[in-house]
Amino acid sequence: MEGYTVLRVIGEGTFGRALLVHHERSGQDYVMKEIRLPKSAGAIQNCRQEAVLLAKMKHPNIVAFLESFEADGHLHIVMEYCDGGDLLQTVKRQRGKLFPEEKILHWFVQMCLAVQHIHDQLVLHRDIKSKNIFLTQSGTVKLGDFGSARLLRSSMAYARTYVGTPYYVPPEIWENLPYNNKSDIWSLGCVLYELCTLKHPFQANGWKNLILKICQGSYSPLPTQYSYELHYLMKQMFKRSPKHRPSVTTILTRGHLAKLIRRCMPAEITVEIEQQVKKEFRGQKDKIQVKKDRETSAKDKNVPGPRKQHWDREPPSTVLNVLQNASLLASSTAEEEEDSEETPTGSCIRKYGEEKARRRWVRKPPETLLNILENADISLAFQTYTVYKP
């Protein structure tokens, strides 16, 4: 804490507090996230992931990292302070008055640029929601909270442990299928919908209904004042099958949104998108060349070429089936998250703002996911959870 003066607490985080601090050397204000370090070495490693991944991200639409250090049993992550609050607060402040389409697009494009930057580095955010998207007074959007983010080993890889906020969770998660970049697209779609309607797309008064609505992809259409292009984009982002959802690069460069961007975005944003496309195109060309080289060398050696990669899909299972069998851990990066080696020892439900009795561990065989969810208030569905698959 040396070199910093605490000004005030600005957020009760899932794993600790977020403080507004004054950095004496630079004379600037920053946010310091304090995360209680867990006991086991593996779990500590998981906590450090947030700092490691945030430090890797350098983009005008991602909260900038300053430094991180460990002291007094806590990990401290110092980052840029976004003085305009979060998007959820902005939506609530509207009191039912819809935003103009231009404003929505201006925010949405910046969110897409942030997500494109992280996906380019094979990082999944896994907790995109209006509460994790911050604003500055000058109107710049910054994606934050990398506490659930995860680095994949390859662009084709899928993550198996699920982390997220139930209201923003895509159908594939509830259907026990792995998570990839298209799952972030679904969550981003939920944020876009909230900006257009000031409501959440999937609303229900109970868990079963919420999950069924998400899995059916049933939501009320956007208000008619918005363009056909925006309606169409919404539909694409809420495709039930992840492979039918557009990637963030597709959203930014092809089809309807690209036209809208050209029409209403400042020139520097259009230039950035074009640069990204060129980069991606070069990457694809390199991949094609590597593949061709491999095939040629395989032919020369008279051995079969590389086989197309297939992802093992688990046997089709109904949503409720999965829910009956999965165990759930709420807010638990403190626990180890090692794909396919997960050994949950119990289950816990944790509520925001409950400073003391935060974790209630149930030291008996894990209850079923639906069991746990049914006993929890539906308002908890706006919080970050980790679901360990059985």
212: left (phi over 0), alpha (psi -120 to 50) or beta: alpha
CA distance 332 to 359: 10
Contact 158, 178 (CB under 8 A): yes
When CB distances are held under 5 to 8 angstroms depending on the partner's kind, the choice from Mg ion, ligand ADP, none that residue 242 binds is: none
When CB distances are held under 5 to 8 angstroms depending on the partner's kind, the choice from Mg ion, ligand ADP, none that residue 346 binds is: none
Minimum distance of Mg ion from residue 351's CB (angstroms): 14
Query: How far, in Å, are 72, 81, 243, 277 from residue 284 at the CA level?
Result: 47, 36, 18, 10
Minimum distance of ligand ADP from residue 152's CB (angstroms): 21
When CB distances are held under 5 to 8 angstroms depending on the partner's kind, the choice from ligand ADP, Mg ion, none that residue 31 binds is: ligand ADP
CA distance 368 to 366: 6
Minimum distance of Mg ion from residue 180's CB (angstroms): 22
Would you tell me how many other CB atoms lie within 10 Å of the CB of residue 131?
A: 20
Residue of minimal CB distance from Mg ion? 145
Interaction between residue 128 and ligand ADP (CB under 6 A): no
Interaction between residue 13 and ligand ADP (CB under 6 A): yes
Q: Which residues pair with 22 in a beta bridge?
A: 5, 29
Minimum distance of ligand ADP from residue 34's CB (angstroms): 10
Specify binding-site residues. Answer: 33
When CB distances are held under 5 to 8 angstroms depending on the partner's kind, the choice from Mg ion, ligand ADP, none that residue 276 binds is: none
Q: Label residues 337-358 b or e (16+ Cβ within 10 Å = b).
A: beeeebebeebbbbbeeeeeeb
When CB distances are held under 5 to 8 angstroms depending on the partner's kind, the choice from Mg ion, ligand ADP, none that residue 134 binds is: ligand ADP
Pick from 1, 4, 11, 217: which binds ligand ADP (CB under 6 A)? 11
Q: What is the Cα gyration radius of the chain?
A: 22
Minimum distance of ligand ADP from residue 188's CB (angstroms): 16
Question: Is 127 assigned a catalytic role?
Answer: yes
Name the catalytic one among 72, 83, 86, 127: 127
Query: How far, in Å, are 30, 267, 268, 269, 275 from residue 263 at the CA level?
Result: 35, 10, 13, 12, 18
Of the pair 306, 353, the CB lying nearest ligand ADP is at 353
Pick from 144, 171, 246, 344: which binds ligand ADP (CB under 6 A)? 144
Of 97, 102, 89, 187, the C-alpha closest to 135 is: 89
When CB distances are held under 5 to 8 angstroms depending on the partner's kind, the choice from Mg ion, ligand ADP, none that residue 214 binds is: none
Of the pair 63, 370, the CB lying nearest ligand ADP is at 63
The DSSP string of 167-198 is GG--HHHHTTPPB-HHHHHHHHHHHHHHHHHS
Interaction between residue 212 and ligand ADP (CB under 6 A): no
Residue located via tokens 């991180």: 68
Minimum distance of ligand ADP from residue 64's CB (angstroms): 9
CA distance 55 to 66: 8
Q: Identify which range of 5-13, 98-106, 213-221, 274-282 contacts ligand ADP by CB under 6 A.
A: 5-13
Of the pair 149, 215, the CB lying nearest Mg ion is at 149
Specify binding-site residues for ATP. Answer: 33
Of the pair 253, 331, the CB lying nearest ligand ADP is at 331
Q: Identify which range of 9-17, 159-167, 258-266, 287-295 contacts ligand ADP by CB under 6 A.
A: 9-17
Q: Quick one: angle between helices 228-237 and 181-197, nearest 10?
A: 140
CA distance 197 to 192: 9
Q: Which residues contact 111 (CB under 8 A, 6 or more apart)?
A: 61, 128, 133, 141, 143, 188, 191
Touching ligand ADP, residues 45-64 (CB under 6 A): 63
Minimum distance of ligand ADP from residue 382's CB (angstroms): 11
CA distance 272 to 269: 5
When CB distances are held under 5 to 8 angstroms depending on the partner's kind, the choice from ligand ADP, Mg ion, none that residue 182 binds is: none
Catalytic residues: 127
Contact set with ligand ADP (CB under 6 A): 10-11, 13-14, 18, 31, 33, 63, 79-82, 86, 131-132, 134, 144-145, 147
